[in-house]
């Protein structure tokens, strides 16, 4: 039993990497993930990735922000200490619109950032987990979980055939900035 | 993905589209005739101004869309540029129509009540500042406030300005179309660079003059009132309604077998823009409303007071519901923007919604309250709308059929547009 945990195919060219994905899929080899230094159009559909749920998170944070400030302002301006400002009613809805809008936007922006950091393990101070350094630079990396039934040699050959410039058999999942 | 298309296919303007646009024009003419013969001259004129302005704005939007794409060096939109270009080609016609409406409104008179409630001779349009003697001391029509504005609001200067705005826009739009056609013949970067320069020039002129165009043609109907937000508010309406018209044209052409290179991704982008700018429109609407409401100055509040009358109030609120709530709820999610049917319905709603928007800018200050809120919009309104929609369809499709190809086939960024993916 080999100690290889993940097999990485490193490509220099995105088209060749896409070709590699095709080849692997044709041979029913499940792909763990793909890392690219830039967005590749159509790759989500090819890998069958689910749509991001970040939009839903944004919506929920927006609702939270709007509700928070609306209740706060209502409590302060209408319930606890109503004041006569320019003869307007205490609960003057048009006045409530600008800050409700602002807080909705604020909570959405911060909430999305935090959610994104949480989902991608990118909190400040944390060593980022990457499977190969050059995936952030100039290599397009396909990662395959080595515990599949297919022999590692076959996978290596497939990747090489598709044009991989390097195939790595890694014993550890991540190489971190240590 | 298919990436090679025959761009040389031309649009053929015939069959149902032609018949229907002609029928619609006929309906409009009958409606106008009915309006004048039934004694509702002022109401008919107000409707003509509304639709003339709407028609012009949608055509201007075609130029604005092209110019924005060129200046931003956007690649995604290249393959759909012929549709806004067709809009741009109709602008000279729309401008002439609007000018004819404005001139007849200014120079054809009828008897009615002036602001003091006295019987006098009034023009059909712009009666507050264009009636005789409004700036002459001692005249029974003299109005001190309007007289103070007469340096700007007088008929010769007013007409000069309108001609200048529309002339400038038409000329620059014509140049953009010409360069694009030349590009199809010759290729190369030469025409693209020239288009870029013309676009920059257009955007500068447009940015400074479009608020003035709105001030002149619409806001001056209620010459006592003014709002600095009004120009941008109208610009937002122009942009959203124009974009809805472009998108609807795209969808219908695509359904009829043309422009097959336009994918759901292009439509998604158009949906995003419509959604975003509907929110922008609401922002400006609300900005104008909030400040007026908060300051509560009589001369400013008069505008909203008139729209708060029971005859107009339901329409006033409906305007917000249609133009804000509908795009917000219908177009927010990614999926709905990618469903062509949903997008089509949203476009139609927005086109009608911005008609209502223009309607409630114009009617309270011209025709004023009628008997009930539901009689405010009747046969004349519907017929004039249909007539102008038919006219727009006729001229726009006619202009589109004159293009030798339905995409700028030698545009340097065309490939990017064909591969557009979001």
What pLDDT sits at residue B337?
A: 92
Is residue B81 within 8 A of residue B268, CB to CB? The reply is no
Residues B28, B22: Cα–Cα separation, whole Å: 10
**pLDDT digits 0-9 by tens, B106-165:** 999 888 888 778 888 889 999 889 888 888 888 888 888 899 999 999 999 999 999 999
> Which structure tokens are listed for B408?
């700028």
Is A166 a residue whose pLDDT tops 80? Answer: yes
Where do the domains of chain A lie, and which CATH numbers do they carry? 6-50+129-176 (3.30.70.1510), 54-120 (no CATH)
Query: In A, which residues are within 8 Å of B296 by CB distance?
Result: 86
Cα–chain-centroid distance for residue B126? 19
Residues A90, A88: Cα–Cα separation, whole Å: 6
What pLDDT sits at residue B3?
A: 58
Is residue B209 within 8 A of residue B56, CB to CB? The reply is no
**DSSP 8-state code for residue B358:** H
Residues B274, B241: Cα–Cα separation, whole Å: 8
Task: Using CB atoms, pick whichever of B293, B333, B421 lies closest to residue A94.
Answer: B293
pTM given for the model? 0.90
Residue B1 binned pLDDT confidence (cut-offs 50, 70, 90): low
The vertex-B208 CA angle with B131 and B89, nearest 5°, equals 85
Which residue in the block uniquely carries the two structure tokens 């020039």? B201
Closest to B261 in 3D by CA, of B3, B71, B84, B77 = B3
Residues B380, B386: Cα–Cα separation, whole Å: 10
- The mean per-residue pLDDT over the stretch B195-209 comes to 96
Query: In A, which residues are within 8 Å of B286 by CB distance?
Result: 94, 97
Query: Domain extents for chain B?
Result: 15-418
Strands A33-35 and B109-113, by their bridges, are: unpaired
Cα dihedral B307/B152/B236/B192 (nearest 10): 160
ipTM score for this prediction:
0.79
Residues B169, A94: Cα–Cα separation, whole Å: 37
Is A120 a residue whose pLDDT tops 90? Answer: no
- The mean per-residue pLDDT over the stretch B401-419 comes to 90
Residues B326, A164: Cα–Cα separation, whole Å: 50
**Interface mutation target, options A41, A97, A99, A104, chain B, most CBs of B under 10 Å:** A41
CA distances from residue B144 to B140, B247, B384, B388 in whole angstroms, order as listed: 12, 47, 36, 38
- Look at residue B122 and give its three-state secondary structure: strand
Query: In B, which residues are within 8 Å of A55 by CB distance?
Result: 333-334
**pLDDT digits 0-9 by tens, B312-328:** 999 999 999 999 999 99
């Amino acid at each position: 039993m080999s100690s290889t945990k993940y097999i990485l195919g490193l490509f220099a060219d995105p088209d060749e990497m896409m070709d590699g994905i095709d080849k692997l899929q044709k041979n029913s080899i499940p792909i763990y993930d793909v890392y690219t230094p830039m967005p590749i159009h159509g790759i989500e559909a090819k890998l069958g990735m689910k749509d991001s749920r970040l939009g839903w998170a944004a919506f929920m944070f927006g609702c939270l922000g709007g509700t928070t400030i609306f209740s706060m302002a209502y409590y302060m301006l209408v319930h606890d200490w109503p004041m006569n400002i320019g003869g307007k009613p205490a609960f003057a809805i048009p006045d409530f619109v600008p800050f409700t809008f602002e807080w909705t936007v604020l909570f959405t922006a911060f909430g999305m950032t935090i959610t994104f950091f949480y989902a991608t393990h990118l909190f400040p101070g944390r060593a980022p987990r990457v499977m190969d350094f050059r995936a952030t630079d100039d290599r397009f990396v396909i990662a395959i979980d080595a515990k599949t039934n297919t022999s590692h040699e076959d996978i290596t050959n497939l990747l090489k055939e598709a044009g991989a410039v390097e195939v790595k058999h890694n014993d550890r999942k991540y190489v971190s900035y240590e | 993905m298919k990436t090679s298309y025959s761009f040389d296919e031309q649009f053929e303007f015939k069959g149902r589209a032609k018949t229907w646009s002609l029928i619609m024009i006929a309906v409009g003419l009958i409606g106008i005739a009915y309006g004048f013969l039934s004694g509702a001259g002022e109401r008919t004129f107000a409707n003509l101004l509304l639709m003339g302005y709407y028609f012009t704005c949608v055509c201007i939007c075609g130029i604005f869309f092209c110019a924005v794409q060129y200046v931003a060096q956007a690649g995604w939109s290249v393959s759909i540029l012929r549709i806004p270009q067709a809009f741009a080609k109709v602008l000279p016609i729309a401008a002439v129509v609007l000018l004819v409406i404005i001139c007849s409104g200014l120079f054809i008179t009828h008897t009615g009540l002036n602001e003091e409630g006295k019987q006098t001779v009034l023009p059909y349009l712009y009666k507050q500042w264009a009636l005789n003697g409004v700036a002459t001391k001692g005249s029974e029509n003299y109005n001190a406030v309007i007289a103070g504005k007469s340096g700007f609001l007088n008929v010769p200067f007013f007409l000069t300005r309108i001609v200048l705005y529309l002339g400038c826009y038409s000329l620059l739009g014509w140049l953009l179309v010409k360069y694009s056609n030349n590009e199809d013949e010759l290729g190369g970067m030469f025409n693209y660079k020239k288009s870029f320069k013309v676009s920059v020039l257009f955007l500068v002129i447009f940015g400074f003059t479009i608020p003035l165009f709105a001030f002149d043609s619409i806001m001056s109907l209620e010459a006592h009132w003014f709002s600095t937000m009004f120009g941008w508010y109208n610009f937002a309406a122009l942009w959203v309604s124009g974009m809805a018209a472009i998108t609807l044209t795209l969808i219908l052409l695509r359904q009829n077998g043309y422009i097959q290179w336009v994918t759901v991704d292009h439509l998604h982008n158009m949906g995003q823009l419509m959604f975003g700018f509907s929110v922008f429109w609401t922002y400006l609407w609300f900005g104008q409303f909030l400040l007026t409401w908060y300051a509560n100055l009589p001369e400013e509040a008069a505008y909203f007071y008139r729209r708060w009358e029971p005859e107009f109030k339901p329409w006033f609120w409906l305007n917000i519901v249609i133009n804000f709530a509908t795009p917000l709820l219908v177009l927010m999610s990614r999926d709905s923007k990618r469903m062509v049917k949903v997008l089509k319905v949203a476009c139609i709603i927005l086109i009608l919604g911005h008609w209502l928007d223009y309607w409630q800018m114009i009617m309270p200050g011209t025709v004023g309250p009628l008997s009930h809120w539901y009689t405010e919009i009747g046969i004349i309104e519907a017929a004039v709308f249909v007539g102008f929609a038919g006219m727009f369809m006729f001229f726009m499709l006619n202009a589109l059929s004159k293009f030798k190809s339905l995409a700028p086939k030698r545009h340097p960024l065309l490939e990017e547009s064909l591969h557009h993916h979001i």
